[in-house]
Amino acid sequence: MKQLIVNADDWGLTPAVNRGVLRAFQDGIVTSASLLVTGSAFEEAVALARQNPELDVGLHLTLVEERAVLGREVLPTLVDEGGRLPRTSGEFFRRAVLGRINWDEVEREIAAQIARFQQTGLRLSHLNSHQHLHMFPPVFQIVRRLTRGMDNVWIRNPAGPWRKSPGVRMGRWVQRLGLNLTCLSARALHGPPLPQMPDGMYGFEVGGSLTRSALEQILRKIPDGLYELICHPGEDDADTRTRYSHWGYRWAEELEALTAPETRVVLKEQEIAVTSFVRAFGRGSN
């Protein structure tokens, strides 16, 4: 049986992203969203989530680019003078390898982001992270420790296909291979019992540019099992484009793909059952 969780990342990033995620849920195939508690539109996203209780909501941890929940006095090796986290995952990795990041600080910041989510009163259905840093082995160990006592919380498994798909840029495919190896390493190093995780993830190779054709191509390759499709719907507004132009995301095109009637036709043709983290819980971890 093919089961697919369609999850929108960056819920709470900006008002335009919030509007896009909500439309993709109400009029499209999105079943869950990951809340960025450090986002400028966090409080609006929480209010919208309360108005739409059928939408699964999880936590989108961030250890790069955004402002941390805690201040520099608590995170001296993790944030700059303005309280901002490392600008890129590359910078984070370099500092980690050189021993310039204190992992106790990382644990405190992750715990603070989890606490900020819990303070909303929303049900925490899943946890993932910006640029999938939760699968970096030292971070994965922290996430496992902090979520071990939580009920019914899924952790994203970013592992995906090893074979390069037509149209995928070579650089992005190499990143996919690196992410797959990181996932294998994290899971092997820390061993059982593993947290509840889907069988894998689709959408990484076209992150930020999930057009209708790219989405259809993915849906025609989904195998039996429980998989997650990541997406980034949003409305095209000047503020989001200006602040996050370096991402190169095509939010409005993703929204159009996720709400297109033709997408539901492909799902039916491929006999894919769209589900959510809450509905899928209990099927057994891979």
pLDDT digits (tens, 9 = 90+) for 83-115: 999 999 999 999 999 999 999 999 999 999 999
Tell the residue number behind the tokens 């003078």, with chain if given.
Answer: 81
What's at 129, amino acid-wise? S
Checking 68-76 for CB contacts under 8 A at 24+ apart, the result is: 68/38, 68/109, 68/112, 69/37, 69/38, 69/109, 69/112, 69/113, 69/116, 70/108, 70/109, 70/112, 74/105, 74/108, 75/105, 75/108, 75/109, 76/102, 76/105
Q: Look at residue 121 and tell me whether its pLDDT is greater than 80.
A: yes
Tokens of 247: 């991402």
User: 56 in helix, strand or coil?
Assistant: strand
* Least confidently predicted of 4-8, 58-62, 177-181: 177-181
Tokens of 237: 């507004």
Of the candidates 56, 132, 57, the residue with the CA atom closest to the CA atom of residue 92: 132
Can you give the pLDDT at residue 34?
98
What distance in Å separates the CA atoms of residue 32 and residue 229, rounded to the nearest whole number? 10
Can you give the pLDDT at residue 282?
57
Q: What rounded mean pLDDT belongs to the chain?
A: 92
Q: What is the pLDDT of residues 174-224, one digit of tens each?
A: 888 888 898 888 877 766 777 899 999 999 998 888 999 999 999 999 999
Tokens of 175: 């990143």
- Calculate Rg over the CA atoms of the chain: 18
What distance in Å separates the CA atoms of residue 272 and residue 32, rounded to the nearest whole number? 16
How do 32-35 and 225-231 pair as beta strands? unpaired
Where do runs of H (alpha helix) occur along 191-230?
Answer: 212-219
Query: Does an H or E element contain 112, and which?
Result: helix 103-118
Q: Pick the residue with more confidence: 186 or 138?
A: 138
